[in-house]
């Protein structure tokens, strides 16, 4: 195993120092370390962060390997600075059995680029009718702790209650895609001025807020853990703020695109901007940014949702919702929040690792810490070229935009997965 001496790097907001990475851990931190047999990396101007952790990734394997595989998604993640991703269950077959979650977990280990932690489905086939084998998935080699029907809402309140009760036994968490389906039938974009002008059926904010309000009450009643996926409205932030003030065990995430883009993008009729929940208004974006800074929202999660060209480059109404996220998330965070490294580390690494219960992830680089880390060049700017992305899909909403920040290197347990901005394998 090669040792690495990372010279002249700033750890988060600290002064430049040296990091010695050896045997999978950060062995030493301090000025003027000697290399010995270590490979020296000059990291002048770079910032070291704990490896990023994504709570919400769609890897599409099994079933849609044309759009993404565990390996291609893992490579996109490593290039984005991630050392762990949680893989959503809406694959084909659905990850609703111990067999499927173990398959995804094994594929992740074989790719060896990030830790792939499978999420299990809450209900069989995501159909919302009966609970999946949550216990068997928890006891499997994949040790599932997060369950989600993402893509669908667990709309039946009795099923939601039972799921919350079930996972309490092993401190699991239900991650809800909050969308009251009766309020979003035929919806194409956010319900508001722009949808009225374009004549597209609207997806009202209240469809999200009503489910979050119900679910925080259910979580409070049961005393169990709820996580809210891709929060997108100012009203949702207020529901979460009140629930947290009461001590409800609820956490929440926001995506990079909901922190940056608004429903006005639909005016282009370019389906790359079609996503679920939909892009909202500038007022919502401002509320989400403030909530993330305050901690009412705990995490930035990508909701990386790769789609094949034929599912995306068609008429708006027929296009699948979803956007790529893994390779651009850190840049969007830097664009929105500036170099607030402690905030970025908390929201993109420590908090998601805690919520997912991933030991060894989300730990700041310090002596004895597992060497899961990423080196960022905050001064670099890059133009996003869809064809250059490692993802198998091309549906980035940031095509040809110039974004700040570049991931220079990523280490997984002391081994580089990215060096010089390129994937090692």
Ligand X SMILES: NC(=O)N[C@@H](CC(=O)O)C(=O)O
Annotated binding-site residues for Zn(2+) read: 56, 58, 150, 177, 230, 303
**In angstroms, what is the minimal distance from the CB of 8 to Zn ion?**
39
Can residue 305 be called a binding residue for ligand X (CB under 6 A)?
yes
Q: Give the nearer residue to ligand X in terms of CB position, either 73 or 321.
A: 321
Among 68, 150, 191, 364, interactor with ligand X by CB under 6 A: 150
CA 314, chain centre distance (Å): 26
**In angstroms, what is the minimal distance from the CB of 93 to Zn ion?**
18
Confirm whether 420 is a catalytic residue.
Answer: no
Coil, helix or strand for 23?
coil
Can residue 17 be called a binding residue for ligand X (CB under 6 A)?
no
The answer to whether 381 touches 195, Cβ cutoff 8 Å, is: no
Interacting span for Zn ion (CB under 5 A) from 146-154, 308-316, 343-351, 390-398: 146-154
**In angstroms, what is the minimal distance from the CB of 148 to Zn ion?**
8
* Alpha helix stretches (DSSP H) within 30-127: 70-79, 98-111
Among 50, 120, 256, 322, interactor with ligand X by CB under 6 A: 322
Tokens of 23: 């045997």
Can residue 253 be called a binding residue for Zn ion (CB under 5 A)?
no
Each residue 42-71 as x (binds ligand X by CB under 6 A) or -, in order, gives ----------------x-------------
* Count, residues near ligand X per rule CB under 6 A: 12
CA 344, chain centre distance (Å): 13
**Chosen from Zn ion, ligand X, none, partner binding at 260 (C-beta under 5 to 8 Å by type):** none
Each residue 294-323 as x (binds Zn ion by CB under 5 A) or -, in order, gives ---------x--------------------
**In whole angstroms, what is the distance from residue 295 CA to residue 133 CA?**
33
Strands 415-419 and 422-423 turn out to be antiparallel
The answer to whether 230 touches 211, Cβ cutoff 8 Å, is: no
* Count, residues near Zn ion per rule CB under 5 A: 3
The answer to whether 264 touches 174, Cβ cutoff 8 Å, is: no
Coil, helix or strand for 168?
helix
**In whole angstroms, what is the distance from residue 227 CA to residue 281 CA?**
23
The answer to whether 5 touches 41, Cβ cutoff 8 Å, is: yes
Report in angstroms the alpha-carbon separations of 205 from 48, 153, 196, 235, 331: 38, 15, 15, 7, 27
Q: Which of 115, 298, 303, 377 is catalytic?
A: 303
Q: Could you list the residues that contact ligand X (CB under 6 A)?
A: 58, 90, 150-151, 177, 275-276, 303, 305, 320-322
Q: Could you list the residues that contact Zn ion (CB under 5 A)?
A: 150, 177, 303
The residues carrying an active-site annotation are 303
């Amino acid at each position: 195993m090669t040792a690495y001496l990372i010279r002249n790097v700033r750890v988060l907001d600290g002064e430049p120092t040296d990091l010695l990475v050896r045997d999978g851990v950060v062995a030493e931190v301090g000025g003027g370390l000697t290399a010995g047999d270590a490979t020296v990396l000059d990291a002048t101007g770079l910032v070291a962060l704990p490896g990023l952790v994504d709570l919400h990734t769609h890897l599409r394997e099994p079933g849609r390997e044309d759009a993404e595989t565990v390996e291609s998604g893992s490579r996109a993640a490593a290039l984005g600075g991630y050392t762990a991703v949680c893989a959503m269950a809406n694959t084909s077959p659905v990850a609703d059995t111990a067999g499927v979650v173990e398959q995804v977990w094994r594929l992740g280990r074989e790719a060896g680029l990030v830790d792939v932690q499978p999420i299990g489905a809450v209900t069989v086939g995501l159909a919302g009718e009966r609970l999946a084998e949550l216990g068997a998935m928890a006891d499997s080699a994949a040790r599932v702790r997060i369950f989600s029907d993402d893509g669908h809402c667990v709309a039946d309140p009795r099923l939601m209650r039972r799921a919350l009760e079930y996972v309490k036994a092993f401190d699991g968490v239900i991650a809800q895609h909050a969308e009251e389906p009766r309020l979003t039938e035929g919806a194409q974009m956010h319900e508001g001025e722009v949808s009225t002008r374009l004549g597209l059926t609207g997806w009202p904010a209240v469809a999200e807020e009503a489910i979050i309000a119900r679910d925080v009450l259910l979580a409070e009643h049961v005393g169990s853990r709820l996580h809210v996926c891709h929060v997108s409205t100012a009203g949702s932030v207020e529901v979460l703020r009140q629930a947290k003030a009461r001590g409800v065990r609820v956490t929440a995430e926001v995506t990079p695109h909901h922190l940056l883009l608004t429903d006005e993008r639909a005016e282009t009729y370019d389906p790359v901007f079609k996503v679920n929940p939909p892009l909202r208004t500038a007022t919502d974006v401002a509320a989400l940014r403030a909530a993330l800074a305050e901690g009412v929202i705990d995490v930035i999660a990508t909701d990386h949702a790769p789609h094949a060209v034929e599912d995306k480059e068609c008429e708006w109404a027929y296009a699948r919702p979803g956007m790529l996220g893994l390779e651009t998330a850190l840049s969007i965070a830097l664009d929105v929040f500036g170099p607030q490294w402690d905030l970025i580390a908390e929201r993109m690494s420590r908090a998601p690792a805690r919520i997912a219960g991933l030991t060894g992830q989300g730990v700041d680089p310090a002596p004895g810490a597992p060497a899961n880390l990423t080196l960022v060049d905050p001064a670099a700017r890059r133009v996003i070229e869809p064809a250059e992305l490692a993802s198998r899909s091309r549906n980035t909403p940031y095509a040809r935009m110039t974004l700040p920040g570049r991931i220079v290197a990523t280490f997984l347990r002391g081994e580089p997965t990215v060096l010089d901005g390129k994937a090692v394998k």
